[in-house]
Structure 1
Amino acid sequence: MNNLFGGSPPAVILKIAIASVCVGLLLAITGMDPLMVWEDAFSTIGEVWGYALDWFVWAGKYLVMGAIIVVPIWIAVRLFDILFGGSKPS
């Protein structure tokens, strides 16, 4: 029976139940319901893809804003270290 389930059946069932609750919560947070997922799977995949792209756009905006400050400072520190720091033994 362990070979069929991939482990102890009660442990596998518990893991599946926990994963199902987590996925259900994620779907509820994004405003989806089980009927929508079941009836229109391709639309759901498109919506999830859209949410992911929206998140990347949101994160990308803040990445660029931070990089405008961080990258020049990093370059200046590296140049200062190369010009004036020399090599230090570890």
Structure 2
Amino acid sequence: MANGGMERFLGGSPGRVALQLLVLCIVVGMILSALNIDPRNIVHWIVGLIHRIAAMGFGAVEEFGRYILLGAVVVIPVWIIIRLLNIGRR
């Protein structure tokens, strides 16, 4: 990637983005510390969530697939209609 492509990808110069991320990490870290939230607790919660999802078995995956199909029945036609209406306006 050229430097311009990198800046476009990052949303600014790499140094500036790194500084913004550092400041954001400090602020979020202070807030989490004030709330007495430990990073290990977050990791344990995520691991536990994955274990619970795995324990539910493939029935949960099937149900999730149903939700996707049910939503797609409504969302895809509406999206196509909106796209067609926008093409007509141009």
Question: With structure 1 as the length reference, what TM-score do the two structures score?
Answer: 0.43
Q: TM-score, normalised by structure 2?
A: 0.43
Structure 1 or 2, whichever has the larger Rg, is 1
